[in-house]
Structure 1
Amino acid sequence: MEYIECPNDGVLQEDLNYIANSNIPLEQLKDRTILVTGATGLIGSQIIKALLCCNRLKKTNIKIIALARSKKKVQEMFGGLLNKEKLTFYFADIVEPITNDSPIINESIDYIIHGASITNSKFFIEHPVETINISLKGTANILELAKDKKVKSMVYLSSMEAFGVTDSNLEYVKEEDLGYIDILNVRSCYSEGKRMSECLCASYASEYDVPVKIARLAQTFGAGISYTEDRVFAQFAKSVINKTDIVLHTEGKSFGNYCYTRDTVIALLILLVKGNQGEAYTVSNEESNTTIRNMAQMVAEEIADGKIKVVFDIPKEKKTLGYAPDVKMHLSSMKMQALGWKPEIGLKEAYFRMIRSMENTKLELTNEDKN
């Protein structure tokens, strides 16, 4: 197998090749231009690499316009791919309006995938105003661009946190089963920002006929996660790699909903073409639903073969850690599956693939330090 899009990560390259050969309706994307915001994020970067892989394997001739803030991150993440003919990067702060002076305004854009967002819980607590502004102002700016360009379709990447604390008696939580969010809790800047951005999408769809769809994403991880990532799933994986115990700072009672990166990218590209305007779709693997505690124990016992254990170190003051409220929620993805999508990678395989990928990243970082 040729490692073209990911020369240092064979696991991720396998995933990209799989995406290119999946049931995405590529014929509708052929010869079109797709704008991807949040280009250096986990999902945004993999969408871009997957589209480049489609160009190579399926001759789709898709032009990709990528929007990012950091030239350094783009260089680190895309390297030699920056020379690809069909990939163009623009650098801007998404909170700033897109004016007639912005170079992107001269581009012809057919589709938009809007993934620019803050994902770090500690940032939510320390910079709640900025978190809200990135959600609201950033999404408003991209929706205005979508309106002006008369795009064929747009997908907004929302989050399962938009559900809030739902009714714990529900067997499955569907798109309409929204729960409670404490709007005076600073941590709610993220979840409430996502809710308002969803409302903004629905409003643009209604008032201006912008064909935007909303993807409510479960927590997504898998191949392509950097070794420097610090979210809980990455911490668990690094404990396996480094043979250190998993340390939980809560009782781990909250239920998590998860989806493997490759499955999520396929879902988003299907939604881009097949979704209904102004509607929300949950992207989650229904079988990957478990408590944080049970997931930690699964990783320690089944992924690390019992060579590490789970220990608890619960601080008296948890506010500064930025944890979301404990929830008991099992997301339904039946609406998304009705479009022809089916998640394939379960939680255990997701960890195995992520760990192999992170080991490649760790090796790369080690080699850079030596140089």
Structure 2
Amino acid sequence: MNRLRIPAYTRDIERIVASDLPWADLANTSVLITGATGMIGTLLVDVLMRANELHGLHCRVIAISRDASRAQKRLPYHDDRLFSIEELEIGSFGARPSERADFIFHLASPTHPRAYASNPIGTIQANVIGLQNLLDYAAAENSRRILFASSVEIYGENRGDTERFDEGYCGYIDCNTVRAGYTEAKRLGEAMCQAYRAQLGIDAVIARIARAYGPTLLPSDSKALSQFIHNALAGRDVTLKSTGMQRFSYLHASDVVSGILYLLFKGSSGEAYNLADEANDTKLIDLAHMVAEIGGVSVVLDLPDAVEQAGYSKATYALMDGTKTRNLGWGAAYTLPAGIKQTLEVLRETSIL
């Protein structure tokens, strides 16, 4: 079934579109989204297209994808004159969108362990070359704002001197590993936003996103929680590939989308903001049992293969302080149990394209 016909999914879209945000700022503008077929990009496209209907925005939505045919299946709006798909490898040197955009969301990046390990060059290119392409494009087109999707990963390992990472924290990262390509590329991406802002006057805002999950996740996603969900959907036991003592912050995809919209509209230029909520913090082992219980399966222990192991984060305690974003008026709608239940409910009714 089409996800846009599933009430458990569309309720989130309606909730976000009804948020107290200055939607009129998007009237008669254009929004460009890289990574538009990813977990966050897909839901963001759905929200913006519904906002067009509800608020009469006449806002053009430009979806950038490496595979136009796949994007057409994933994003069912190709007959809508306010929507377009452009096939473009944004991480290639000199890649440039053909249409002008007022607002830019740079969401394109490998975001899971197997991708980091199997395509480390592409991981870096998406976050460095891709971002540079977009910053140059924003400068040439006089775009109004670019939002760069960064990550909790930029904090590295907790040095043991804080319970939660606020936006000023900086932990340890071993840069001489394949896995560091993702983290260091995100760090460099943030520095690039600051450089372009200082030298060329680009208006950039940065979203540091907690570990995300939700009903738009892809079958290829090898993050631990995504694999828990895939297994539960298939009726297989949830596989835990460590002792599970790691403690992380998680966030439902719809809360990520509402968060980045708050930052687009209300975030201060040049600032970085954590997207996280304390109610979604948990140990990995507790998360595995939570998914197993909701999915009606059990938890088993199995060691990762070499490719997976190379892509795993070394961080074991990475909780985020979301105060700065909450001060803009944003708040998460989902707790972990409710979010996992909704994710399983939607994915059981639809196929993941």
What TM bracket, shorter-length normalisation?
Answer: over 0.9
Residue 98 (structure 1) shift: 4.4
Residue 7 (structure 1) shift: 3.8
Percent of matched pairs sharing the same residue: 27
CA 1:360 to 1:336, structure 2 compared with 1: closer, same or farther past 3 Å? same
CA 1:124 to 1:317, structure 2 compared with 1: closer, same or farther past 3 Å? closer
Q: Equivalences for 1:203-352 in 2 at 5 Å?
A: 203-226=195-218, 229-301=221-293, 303-304=294-295, 307-314=296-303, 320-352=309-341
Residue 220 (structure 1) shift: 1.4
**Distance across 2 between alignment mates of 1:168 and 1:289:** 17
**Distance across 1 between alignment mates of 2:30 and 2:286:** 43
Code of the aligned partner of 1:162: I
Please say if residues 165 and 180 of structure 1, whose CA atoms lie closer than 8 Å, have aligned partners that are also in contact. yes
Code of the aligned partner of 1:261: A
Structure-1 residue corresponding to 2:114: 122
Residue 108 (structure 1) shift: 3.4
Structure-1 residue corresponding to 2:61: 64
Please say if residues 91 and 122 of structure 2, whose CA atoms lie closer than 8 Å, have aligned partners that are also in contact. no
Structure-1 residue corresponding to 2:26: 29
CA 1:265 to 1:71, structure 2 compared with 1: closer, same or farther past 3 Å? same
Structure-1 residue corresponding to 2:157: 165
SS at match of 1:290: strand
Deviations 1:118-176 (A, max 9, x none): 12311211222222122110010001111112222111001111111123341221011
Please say if residues 114 and 155 of structure 1, whose CA atoms lie closer than 8 Å, have aligned partners that are also in contact. yes
**Distance across 2 between alignment mates of 1:43 and 1:24:** 19
Residue 329 (structure 1) shift: 2.1
Code of the aligned partner of 2:349: N
**Distance across 1 between alignment mates of 2:238 and 2:122:** 32
**Distance across 1 between alignment mates of 2:266 and 2:187:** 23
Structure-2 residue corresponding to 1:88: 84
Please say if residues 12 and 224 of structure 1, whose CA atoms lie closer than 8 Å, have aligned partners that are also in contact. no
Code of the aligned partner of 2:287: M
**Distance across 1 between alignment mates of 2:146 and 2:306:** 41
Code of the aligned partner of 2:41: G
TM-score (norm 1): 0.89
Please say if residues 245 and 309 of structure 1, whose CA atoms lie closer than 8 Å, have aligned partners that are also in contact. yes
Please say if residues 252 and 291 of structure 1, whose CA atoms lie closer than 8 Å, have aligned partners that are also in contact. yes
Code of the aligned partner of 2:80: K
Deviations 1:87-120 (A, max 9, x none): 1111111123447xx6x44x33211111111123
Code of the aligned partner of 2:25: Q
TM-score (norm 2): 0.93
Comparing 167-176 with 278-287, greater Cα deviation is found at 167-176
Q: CA RMSD in A?
A: 2.1
Instruction: Structure 2: give runs of 5+ residues left out of the alignment.
Output: none
**Distance across 1 between alignment mates of 2:248 and 2:189:** 23
Q: Is residue 156 from structure 1 mapped to residue 156 from structure 2 by the alignment? A: no
SS at match of 2:78: helix
Code of the aligned partner of 1:53: R
SS at match of 2:345: helix
Instruction: Structure 1: give runs of 5+ residues left out of the alignment.
Output: 366-371
Please say if residues 38 and 218 of structure 2, whose CA atoms lie closer than 8 Å, have aligned partners that are also in contact. no
Whichever of the two has the greater Rg, that structure is 1
